[in-house]
Chain A
């Protein structure tokens, strides 16, 4: 009987220890939960801040590009149109002056007609550069071909193109982004690359769209971020992000550059 009692009394501390351990365990779980939650919330907050920062940078780049574009249009209008129209205006006022011989008037008239033709040509070129009519009328491939033809006509470059693109796989606004990306890449090649050959391909399969651009020019060091920004690469990145594509860029000094834009079509 006494043995039983001793055993019974021994059980009590065991139960007490068990309950204390369970209390400790639940306290640990609660603590673990609150600390983890705090950490996760903090990480998510940091992620959101980064996202906002990225969007802000994108917006800033867009605004800068917009300003650059405005500056370029203003420059074009000033150089190619305003200055020539000034000359037209000057010649026209000369024609109206008294004592001018018919021969002189004819010469001035011919000059006015000549300058007007170049002004017309300039205004068409400016409008064309802003939005190529071929893109709207004949589609992306035609617009890209036209772009390559223009480059080829300079006789400085050997261009290879492969187009296997089914029209209207992309919406119109996305096609414009693809066109702008290629336009920017060609601009870079012309401005900085000193290249001899350019390869451009646009291929679409059932699931993917793949744009590949390559030149054998000067290339650049990818780690030099600032220079890359100057090349309008952030604009290309932004446009790729807008159409939901991923880009991969490869370049080394004196070894040319290549850029791939891949979009999953769903």
Chain B
């Protein structure tokens, strides 16, 4: 069990290393790059807080709310700079209002795992990724690997997060829960790997490419 915990703790490492790699070329690249670096930094900080809460054995479920809302905001901004569509702002505002209503009507969902919120926000990000793919079909394409990673991780993890409450309520054996966690870890690692590959192939310090 201890060994498993150690492996799972090591999974935080890529989340910490990637923002540092992306920060190297922070000033040289475009706004989309900057927003994505900010997103990675946000995730890294959240992971650290998560570990601290876990160490003190405090309930950290509310952090998940910050995670998916922050992630939605950063990703919306990232795709706003890539797709250059004003309606992305409107979608952002509408979703935030909807979530605000949800938390007013059911304050408990702030502390619990919010399946509705995470499903909606992730689906929208998947939609942005698909639209970006469509845009890239005939135009000059940047962040393709990143977009592939986002599409892959966010689409596959929708079901995983959406069924989160169900799985918690089921009182499943610890072993089964761990298996689910492994699947999520694998998906997350693949996502991290694609983020790394994007940086390695296109944004390594050797190259000085100007991007949007």
Contact = CB atoms under 8 A, between A and B. Distances in A.
A23 B136 CA distance: 22
A44 interface: yes
Interface string B145-175: 0001001100110111001001100111000
A26 B172 CA distance: 28
A30 B151 contact: yes
Interface string B187-211: 1000000000000000000000000
B168 to A, nearest CB: 12
Contact of A30 (B148, B158, B172, B180): B148
Contacts of B138: 40, 44
A253 interface: no
A22 B170 contact: no
Contacts of A82: none
A25 interface: yes
B156 A37 contact: no
Interface string A1-36: 000000010011001101100110111011001001
Contacts of B21: none
A9 to B, nearest CB: 9
B163 A15 contact: yes
Contact of B166 (A11, A22, A27, A44): A11
B176 interface: yes
A36 B137 contact: yes
A22 B158 contact: yes
Interface residues on B, range: 20 to 34
Contacts of B160: 15, 19
B137 to A, nearest CB: 6
Interface string A35-60: 01100100010000000000000000
A52 to B, nearest CB: 19
B81 interface: no
A45 B210 CA distance: 24
B137 A26 contact: no
Contact of B152 (A8, A15, A30, A44): A30
A1 B187 CA distance: 34
Given A36-B137, A40-B137, A44-B138, A22 B151 contact: no
Contacts of B141: 37
Contacts of B159: 15, 18-19, 22
B177 to A, nearest CB: 10
A40 B141 CA distance: 13
A33 B171 CA distance: 41
Contact of A37 (B130, B137, B152): B137
Contacts of B166: 11
7 contacts: A18-B163, A19-B156, A25-B155, A29-B130, A33-B136, A37-B137, A40-B138
Given A8-B170, A15-B167, A33-B136, 4 more contacts: A12-B176, A19-B159, A27-B152, A29-B133
